[in-house]
């Protein structure tokens, strides 16, 4: 399992290293949220089963934590070439074709990221103006929107970076990371 983590693409240029640092830190934070969520669910289920009682508002908390974790890992997954992998289709494709497909995927994801960020901003403002909150815990819904917008903004920057990287790779007919240039479908990260 850690074997894949060690062999994945890590940017070596200055911009890539900075994006990696922030994306990795955010992904680690998201991983802790997932672990905490799993622990909370277990405590709630055990409490309910034993008659002690479940955690009040657990469904609302799970909603908040799930969104927090998902938004946290998206930039890292995009940067590490792990969001969309179609190895079985492009196994025999040329390096240029793989890089072109990566660029197309980054462009599509970039456009979706921009659209989602735009709607998150307006959704957060709307929830703030209407003073919406979770019923069981009374937590204002709008408070999670600035965090989500920040994560999506990082994702947009990462998508711009991966798009530029893939275009450069298509022009050079070579992946920036040498480990991706070796032939064979078993190489991690080839698309």
- What residues does 140 pair with on adjacent strands? 133
- Dist. CA 4–CA 112, nearest whole Å: 27
Cross-strand pairs, 94: none
Give the separation between CA 99 and CA 24, rounded to whole angstroms.
Answer: 23
Q: What is the pLDDT of residue 82?
A: 78
Question: Average pLDDT in the 19-44 region?
Answer: 95
Dist. CA 79–CA 139, nearest whole Å: 33
pLDDT tens for 124-136 read 999 999 998 888 8
- φ, ψ for residue 133, nearest 5 deg: -145, 160
CA separation, residue 135 to residues 44, 60, 126, 132 (Å):
18, 8, 17, 9
pTM equals: 0.82
């Amino acid at each position: 399992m850690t074997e894949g983590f060690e062999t994945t693409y890590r940017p070596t240029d200055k911009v890539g290293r900075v994006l990696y640092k922030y994306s990795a830190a955010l992904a680690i934070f998201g991983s802790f949220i997932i672990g905490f969520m799993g622990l909370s669910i277990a405590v709630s289920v055990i409490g309910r089963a034993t008659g002690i009682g479940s955690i009040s508002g657990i469904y609302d908390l799970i909603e908040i934590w799930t969104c927090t974790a998902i938004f946290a890992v998206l930039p890292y997954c995009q940067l590490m070439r792990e969001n969309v992998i179609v190895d079985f289709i492009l196994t025999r494709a040329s390096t240029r074709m793989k890089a072109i497909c990566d660029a197309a995927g980054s462009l599509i994801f970039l456009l979706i990221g921009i659209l989602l960020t735009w709607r998150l901003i307006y959704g957060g403002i709307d929830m703030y103006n209407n003073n919406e909150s979770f019923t069981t815990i009374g937590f204002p819904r709008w408070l999670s929107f600035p965090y989500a917008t920040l994560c999506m903004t990082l994702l947009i920057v990462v998508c711009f970076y991966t798009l530029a990287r893939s275009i450069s790779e298509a022009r050079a007919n070579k992946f920036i990371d040498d480990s991706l240039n070796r032939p064979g479908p078993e190489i991690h990260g080839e698309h």
